Copies of this chain bind each other. A is one copy, B any other.
Amino acid sequence: MIVPPFTCPEHNRQILLVERPVGIPQPEHFRLSETRRGLPQDGQILVRNLYLSVDPAQRGWAADVQNYSATVALNSVMRALGVGVVIESRLPSICPGDIVYGWTGWQDYCCLDASGVLTHVRDPDIAVSSYAGILGINGMTAWLALERLGRPKTGETVLVSTAAGAVGSVVGQLARAEGCRTLGITGSDDKAALCVGRFGYDVAFNYKAPGWLDELDAAAPHGIDIFFDSVGGEILDSAIRRMRTAGRIVQCGTASIASWDPPPAGLRNEREVLSRRLSWNGFVIFDHGADFPAAITRLEALIRNGRLVYDEDVDNGIEAAPDALRRLYAGENTGKKLIFIG
């Protein structure tokens, strides 16, 4: 485990949410601020954050519409996951020097109680940053949602949107390991090449290229058994009309929809659900905290054996976080988006 050197000053830089975004958060909705770092109370740890995570889910946390979690209050630290090193612990189960992954927020330091820690690692021989990505909610979403809701079987055809992304690139590899034919959708020719060349997809499509649906039809002449979707919208409408009988749609995100307020219109899909006997399920990783340790163990083993590759796209400096989120939605990242602040 390599923990970069750091100093421990008294000040704590924070990215505050200062304006409520409608749709995709933009840099102007945030402001860099500075305060004194807090002191851990009984039952808390003080964490020096190393990698801050940039996740599509942050749009929902910042928005003022009903969601699976409370809205981030204006002028408070932007909610975020991150990986950090424990500096001081008033929690018996965690020692100074341990690495934790949890609800750090976009800031240099945080005080967490046990509920704020998702993963706790004492002696990893895997890069610390991994715990904020492939061994964080991204990899765990891929593993748990595919296994539980996708239920892949050998020989099935699995279509993945955001196929080169932090979740999709893992889904493709896991599905392939299950003996499935894997088809990836992504937003550029370069990323499509990455899907095939690096993540082992059988075929990948650039959805911005005209005629990509014809390519999809040629690649999946009998239709799709599992659609692992993180984008929704027109790509979903196209995929649902190509599902095989008894197919499964795993809904992990709706990144293609710029704003849900008001809800946009689209094709009605209930007839597809009925006539194809689909099972269309929503997945939110935070329902599955109890399964994280087992999922991490499994993914760690695949990584150690070289059977699971992943990419990280790291920016430097806390001030880079807001624009990194914008670029994530613009599809400009290559792999798991992280901010290194160690």
Contacts and interface: CB of A to CB of B under 8 A. Distances in A.
Interface of A: 60, 66-68, 229, 232-233, 236, 245, 251-254, 257, 260, 263-271, 273-284, 287
A276 to B, nearest CB: 6
A274 B260 contact: no
A76 B223 CA distance: 31
Given A254-B271, A260-B271, A270-B232, A284 B279 contact: no
Q: What 4 A-B pairs come out closest when comparing CB atoms?
A: A232-B270, A274-B282, A266-B268, A280-B280
A236 B66 contact: no
A283 B279 contact: no
A274 B255 CA distance: 12
Contacts of A229: 270
Nearest to A67: B275
B282 A278 contact: yes
Contact of A275 (B60, B257, B276, B277): B60
Copy number of this protein in the oligomer? 2
Given A245-B68, A251-B274, A268 B257 contact: yes
Contacts of A277: 68, 281-284, 287
Contacts of A252: 274
Contact of A281 (B263, B267, B273): B273
A92 B112 CA distance: 75
A23 B268 CA distance: 15
A80 B278 CA distance: 25
B233 A268 contact: yes
B263 A271 contact: yes
Interface centre among A60, A271, A277, A279 (most CB of B within 10 A): A271
A268 B282 CA distance: 14
B271 A257 contact: yes
